Structure 1
Amino acid sequence: MSRETYKSLVAGVAPLVQEVFPWDVAEEQEAGKDFLILDIRCPSEFQVMHIDGSLDVPRGILEMACDYGYEETEPKLVEARAQNILVVCRSGNRSILAAHTLQLLGYQHVYSLKTGLRGWSDYELPLVFSNGNPVPQDTADKYFETVLAPEQKGPVAA
């Protein structure tokens, strides 16, 4: 019996989600297009660094944050169903899943940041620390490096 994997889940909904590259977002912002930037990473990731002005709503509480009546309700997000929403995560995969969820919840103009904040940083677009100070490019580069422990790599084929 086969099972879904993280990659297959993302691949399954990716065609249903509009993705945009960081440089396209930068151009659209320069041209005056406004986005609600929704960072769906864990709070600990958000606190390390994020796009200035982005809204932190972890993917684990996203559905509740989108409606009134919950402790997790985020009024700015509830009222944004007709706004341009750019969903961001580290690499652009969790954001695809979250963007799909937002579409199911009635959000009309949802985009996932292709390549995620890693690509945002690679394109040298600005990030800030939790105190609002700019993140130096070399610090961002180091943070977004992939580092896996041996046990996270999976079994080695014999």
Structure 2
Amino acid sequence: MKRFLELVRDCLTDVKELMPWDLEERLQENSDILLVDVREPYEFDAMHIEGSLNVPRGILESSCEWDYEETIPELVRARDREVVIVCRSGQRSVLAAHSMQVLGFSNVASLQTGLRGWKDYDQPLVDKDGNDVDLDFADEYFTPQVGEDQLRPKDWDGY
């Protein structure tokens, strides 16, 4: 049985990653890049990179295909377009980029370090209304909030 981070690591053998400064450069060079944010809608509404498309990870694969309730035409048509997948920390985006490659997308990359790294690189974020997000607030927002009940019990030997 694999754990989450092992699954991510295995996908990295096939997935290209960009650092925030690489993405900044790519956006300057190619205004046609499609940024796909695979976080949940409430996360996207709080803050995202301006111009990105929110496609939650849970519906990504059906959003990439015609004839589904979740179909996003811009995404279906992007198979030969440069696509960069974004999430909070750069892990969900690796899995999403891998899925998109399997589905035939030819130029997909994942933003390594995710939006946390984008913010640490002092790049702008906007909220659902297009307002600039204060990066100090973003810093607080991206600080992990793991509850006591989410921590591995000391006597756990499940894996």
The normalised TM-score by structure 1 is: 0.94
> 1:83 maps to what in 2?
81
Distance in structure 1 (CA, Å) of the matches to 2:95 and 2:29: 28
Distance in structure 1 (CA, Å) of the matches to 2:79 and 2:30: 19
> 2:98 maps to what in 1?
100
1:4 is the counterpart of 2:9: no
> 1:139 maps to what in 2?
137
Q: Go from structure 1 to structure 2 and tell me whether the alpha carbon gap of 1:157 and 1:40 turns closer, same or farther (over 3 Å shift).
A: same
* Stretches of structure 2 lacking an aligned partner (at least 5 in a row): none
Deviates more, 1:31-40 or 1:50-59: 31-40
Paired letter, 1:133: N
Paired letter, 1:134: D
- How many angstroms does 1:32 deviate by? 3.7
SS, match of residue 130 in structure 1: coil
Question: Residues 7-22 of structure 1: matches in 2 within 5 Å?
Answer: 7-22=5-20
1:33-63 CA distance string (max 9 Å, x none): 5310000011111111111110010111111
Distance in structure 1 (CA, Å) of the matches to 2:21 and 2:151: 32
> 1:155 maps to what in 2?
153
SS, match of residue 124 in structure 2: coil
1:126 is the counterpart of 2:98: no
RMSD of aligned alpha carbons: 1.3
Which consecutive segments of 4 or more residues in structure 1 shift more than 4 A? none
Number of residue pairs matched?
Answer: 156
Of 97, 108, 111, the residue aligned with 1:110 is: 108
* Stretches of structure 1 lacking an aligned partner (at least 5 in a row): none
Distance in structure 1 (CA, Å) of the matches to 2:27 and 2:39: 22
Of 22, 43, 55, the residue aligned with 1:45 is: 43
Distance in structure 2 (CA, Å) of the matches to 1:14 and 1:32: 24
